[in-house]
Structures are given as C-alpha cells and as structure tokens.
Homo-oligomer: A and B are copies of this chain.
Amino acid sequence: MTEPRYTLTLSCPDRAGIVAAVSGFVAQHGGFIVEASYHTDQETQQFFMRQEIRANSLPFDAAELRARFASLADEFKMIWQVSDSAVKKRVVMLVSKQDHCLSDLLHRWRSGELEVDIPCVISNHQDLRSFVEWHGIPFHYVDMRDKNAAFAEIARQFDICCGDVMVLARFMQVLPPDLCARFTGQIINIHHSFLPSFAGAKPYHQAYQRGVKLIGATCHYATAELDAGPIIEQDTLRIDHGDTVEDMVRYGRDIEKAVLARGLRYHVEDRVLACGNKTIIFR
C-alpha cells in the first residue's frame, strides 16, 4: 500500500508561469511532489496539469489544501480538483450475463490491486448473483422489460450508493441520453471494437464481414451519442482468416477486460482529464 497522496488536477488557459505558480504554492508549504504531468492542447491553447503530493508532507489536510489553493486557481481561471487517496472512489458495476470483465475487475479488487469501493453490482439477469455475493458485494437485479423504470432504478441505486463512477462491464444495454447527460464523465463503457470502426451492435460480426486483420476494444465515457464518447483506452489484437466470429469473441474478451481495467484504473487515479471529446491520460 502506497503512502497517502493528494492528487491535484487542473486545466486553464495556457500562459507562462503556471507551473511555477503551482509548484511554488506547493513548495511554500513544504509539499513534496511525487509525480507531475503537463500538457497543452494545441487547438484550444488550454493547459492541463496533474500533480501528486505526499499527503504527510503538507501541514494541513485536503480540505485546507483546497481552501488555500482556491485563490491561486481563481487567478489563473482554473477548473480544478483535489482528491485524497485515502478516500476511495465508489464504483458501481453494471453487468448482463457475461462476466469476463466483472470477474477480472473483482479479482483486481479483492487482491488489492484496484483500490476502490464497490458498493454494489447491478444486473438485468440473475446469473452472476452468486459470484458477486461470494465477494460480499450486494447484487441488485433490475427488470429491463420496463426500460424507463429500470434506468430510473439504476440512477437511484447509484445515488443511494454515493457512486463516483458507473462501469458498464458488458452491460449490453444502450443507456438513455438523459442518464448519460446527468452523469457526464462518470459512466465508463467497454466497447468490443477499435472505435470508430464497428460502432453499434455485433462489432465482431462486422469485423468478420470486413475481413480486418486485427480486432480491438475501446474503453470510453458514455455520452448521448452511442459509442462516440471520449476514448480513454484502446488496444488491438492480431487475428487471421482462420478465425471465426466465435474465435474473435473469445480473443476479444481478453482485450476487453485488459482495456477496461486500464481505463478504469486511469479514471480512479484521476489520470483522465477531458478535453472536448478527447481525453488526456497522465500515466
């Protein structure tokens, strides 16, 4: 277990002196910077920054850090936040019947690799109840015959759980635009193709028909437009003419779970900053 850290992420219009001002602020309180990353978007001239500070190097807590940083932030017109590694993010998972992503994430969670809380798993099927409950995690079934009611219930559960992020771990249901809008930047989906190729239904069938030589998976934020949200992580895998759709589905599971696990990790470690419909990933 790593020592507690505060993670400061911010964006603001680019200009000379931002790094100096922020580093100066941290240094002035004796703060020890463990990791630091910067980026300027060329199109918008927006500056992005992430700093991890050793929590016990500062003489005050996260609340006080936020309070003191606010005036500097105002001066540079920053959009910013400070997160505290001692406060775990709360991840609500939505699944259907397939459990390769869920199984992979729960293993990472129970082995301590993924340092989050999982207040519940929600599903439109009962198949995975026993596996989830074996982990001591509540399992909520939602009936999808009434979609409006089902999505309202999902939102309600997320609120009750004080969820920070909703993971569609092969949920196989299209979320309504208003839900996506309400939780912008909080819903992470895994799509089983290398987007923008093969958006929508049955991407492996589409890939088979087109005769591509690689298949892929994409982890992205869900937005109102299907499979068009900001991409967090992607990967591809070589296939050949001998591979059937079923083979692709099988190989694909391995990329899907790897890509989702990396994407979710970046998100919960505050490594993902939105920049229009793109993401900056400070690894």
Q: Which of B19, B134, B258 contacts A254 (CB 8 A)?
A: B258
Task: Please classify the interface of chain A as helix (H, G, I), strand (E, B), loop, or mixed, using the class held by over half of its residues.
Answer: mixed
Q: How many copies does the complex hold?
A: 4
Q: Are the C-beta atoms of A23 and B16 separated by less than 8 Å? A: no
Q: Are the C-beta atoms of A16 and B27 separated by less than 8 Å? A: yes
Measured between C-beta atoms, what is the minimum distance from A208 to chain B in Å?
9
- Cβ of A235 within 8 Å of any chain B Cβ, yes or no, is yes
Q: Are the C-beta atoms of B211 and A241 separated by less than 8 Å? A: no
1/0 contact trace for A72-112 toward B, CB 8 Å?
00000000000000000000000000111001100100010
Q: Are the C-beta atoms of B27 and A20 separated by less than 8 Å? A: yes
Contact stretch, chosen from A33-41, A145-153, A182-190: A33-41
- Cβ of A44 within 8 Å of any chain B Cβ, yes or no, is no
- Cβ of A163 within 8 Å of any chain B Cβ, yes or no, is no
- Cβ of A26 within 8 Å of any chain B Cβ, yes or no, is yes
Kindly report which residue of chain B lies nearest to residue A25, judged by CB atoms. B20
- Cβ of A17 within 8 Å of any chain B Cβ, yes or no, is yes
**Interface size, A (range):** 35 or more
On chain B, the residues within 8 Å of A24 by CB distance are 20, 23-24
Kindly report which residue of chain B lies nearest to residue A211, judged by CB atoms. B278
> Considering the chains assembled together, what is the distance between the CA atoms of A254 and B235 in angstroms?
14
Q: Which of B27, B216, B242, B278 contacts A241 (CB 8 A)?
A: B278
Q: Are the C-beta atoms of B277 and A211 separated by less than 8 Å? A: yes
Q: Which of B236, B240, B241, B277 contacts A214 (CB 8 A)?
A: B236
- Cβ of A10 within 8 Å of any chain B Cβ, yes or no, is no
Residues on A facing B (Cβ under 8 Å): 16-17, 19-21, 23-24, 26-28, 30-36, 38-40, 42, 57, 98-100, 103-104, 107, 111, 113, 131, 134, 194-198, 210-214, 216, 230-236, 240-242, 244, 250, 253-254, 258, 261, 275, 277-281, 283
Question: Closest 8 interchain pairs by CB?
Answer: A211-B278, A20-B27, A20-B23, A17-B27, A241-B280, A213-B234, A19-B23, A197-B197
